[in-house]
Structure 1
């Protein structure tokens, strides 16, 4: 009745394209938040089979779940507590260090990346911390130094890059050795070749989706997720028929309405307005308020068969609606759409 199709072959292909595009830089594939809704373990296994350089997750719990499932690749995480460091060392998990409290808890068995706050205002050592940081790094082994961009504009990105370069230079001149710098996520990796350093971190691009809200994706990446439900009801209604809670939509002429069993319980945004779905090769608008279990489409008098596939989003090359379009309909972005999709939907893993 409801399915989330994930094409692992597309994910491997996307990763290889990113590797080829950004070489000689390594590419960390970010699989946090259940691989952006695609299935963390299945995606990690697919990427490991493709020779992934490193996997990125948010926290130690995600990293350990990968290790316990047999993943051998490098894993890096960056949202941690000092108490996580012993577990990280036990499971060969590299960690991002952002505070002096974390740094004080580091043991000789930890593999660490130092995070710098170059302007995002989140995790990381501030510019004012650098003198103390350099002093406390003396004699320690450091794998990498990294930061994260705000993606506000090219001007702001380059301000952050300059701050990053200056801080890295100061750390290097103090005699602290490290092997990797990484600053760029998907958007900056694609936009600026001089932001690649030794490694880039790609999340949304691995799944074939664009990190940009204002322009097309310049790489031939393939969306890996396709969300489909079955049409469960078709009914004829008169003009003036209210549809769903609050009658946000009222028919202005006789029509047919279709019922789709996919609601906000599956991640279909309740506030979505203006999204269209594909049924039997034709786009139809979603009308009325999305409910917990279902939504309604105006079929404009058509009567597709009960059980017909309803593509909520999928592959634009086939003329299907996209995750970006569903995000726009709900004042959100494709990242949030794919990460939240699931609920009672059955996940199906493909190798097209």
Structure 2
């Protein structure tokens, strides 16, 4: 829970006329900083920056370009639609897509030069059919299930998958780029499952080499990249860390810079007397006269309703961190600004819901901790009427 702080001295900047009521500001300079840092850790491996889920809610194309300018050499997404959207936006870097149904139309992705992951024989057959329809050889990443028991080919089915891939290589329909997998517990340093998964990946790769393939290997997500340099292999795949959300360290100890700040503006101010309740259910009742500020964001915009259970939610308003009074509603919440005259607040003033954590401000990590979830869910959950503004890190709009 964030403490309440006193107002910061001096004038406070205010948004200009027409500024959005709800805004997610994405700092591309932070993305570049984080990418340079992570690429520097990568022990000579290539860096594939993951921009799935619209760049974890930050904007896939803008993040992709920033990351590529700062040392990334490849990009990764989950779906064919995400891959094709990047191509349509002019992003032409090597690009892997890995989560598909076998009845998807793969021809467009192959024609666009998208590399595809396969996890089984049925899936492979559909991808090869797409390659034949596109008239172009598809570049494959063969995914082995090394213990996450999610996407990936089980060990017992791996030899048969390799046999089918060999036939595809022989007839010129495909080529093997990589053998890969995904760690289940890299964010728990010392977890023995990490070493077990690495051993299984190497075993799968050995079988691929026995068939004459020369695959690259990739295993490490953000946490693996930051904690297991021995497993960097040929390619690392940072995701959440690129956005400045550390999978290991607390924000104050992290070398990463959060890229997203979620903010709103005050729509209304008022004073209520002692005994007045606020918001649904009157879970919060004023013990003395209080100044309140109304902020037009709610759970329809990605502010979790449970966040203020027990009065835990804090925002930065008027240069100070203040508690939210009462329940978060679909479209709005109310901030307790203290006794009248304590905190000058006016209609239009900015309200920071989460951001970099500078000067004690709220962070996505703190939201996640309060909710018993992870900061991935917080930033990817920003939605609804929130406008995304992408900046170059120096105040200008990118």
TM-score (norm 1): 0.93
CA-CA distance at 1:241 after TM superposition: 2.1
2:326 to 273, 288, 291: 288
Structure 1 counterpart of 2:201 = 164
Q: Distance in 2 between matches of 1:104 and 1:218?
A: 47
Give the aligned partner of residue 64 of structure 1.
84
Answer whether contact 1:29 1:201 (CA < 8 A) is retained. yes
For the 8 Å contact 2:218–2:237, the answer to whether it is kept is yes
User: What count of residue pairs does the alignment treat as equivalent?
Assistant: 350
Point out the more displaced range, 33-42 or 102-111.
Answer: 102-111
> Is 1:315 aligned to residue 356 of structure 2?
yes
- The equivalent position to 2:178 in structure 1, one of 141, 144, 154, is 144
RMSD of aligned alpha carbons: 1.9
Instruction: Provide, for residues 70-99 of structure 1, a one-character-per-residue CA deviation record: whole Å limited to 9, x for no partner.
Output: 111111010113333222211100011012
Could you tell me how far 1:297 is from its partner in structure 2? 1.4
Moved over 3 A (4+): 48-51, 214-219
Superposed CA offset, 1:300-319 (max 9, x none): 21342222211111112343
1:253, distance to aligned residue in structure 2 (A): 3.1
State the match for 1:235 in structure 2: 270
Moved more, 150-159 or 310-319: 150-159
Change (3 A) 1:271 1:85: same
**Greater CA radius of gyration, 1 or 2?**
2
2-structure distance, mates of 1:151, 1:227: 29
CA contact (8 A) 2:318 2:344 kept: no
Distance 1:255 1:217 in 2: 32
Between 41-50 and 303-312, the greater mean CA deviation after superposition: 41-50
2:74 is aligned with 1:54? yes
Check whether the contact 2:41–2:225 (CA below 8 A) recurs between aligned residues: no
1:270 aligns to what? 305
Q: How does 1:74-223 map to 2 (within 5 A)?
A: 74-82=94-102, 83-105=104-126, 106=128, 107=131, 109-138=137-166, 140=169, 141-151=175-185, 153=188, 154-178=191-215, 180-212=216-248, 219-223=254-258
Q: Distance between the aligned counterparts of 2:43 and 2:194, measured in 1? A: 21
Residue 245 of structure 1: which of 277, 280, 283 is its match? 280
Q: Unpaired segments of 5 or more residues in structure 2?
A: 1-20, 170-174, 394-398
1:147 CA drift (Å): 0.6
How far does residue 215 in structure 1 lie from its aligned partner after superposition? 5.1
Take 1:25 and 1:335, find their aligned partners in 2: how far apart are those partners?
A: 25
Q: d(CA) in 1 for partners of 2:165 and 2:293?
A: 63
Measure how far apart 1:219 and its partner are.
4.8
Residues 225 and 73 of structure 1, relative CA distance in 2, 3 Å threshold: same
Q: Give the distance between the partners of 1:135 and 1:41, measured in 2 at CA.
A: 37
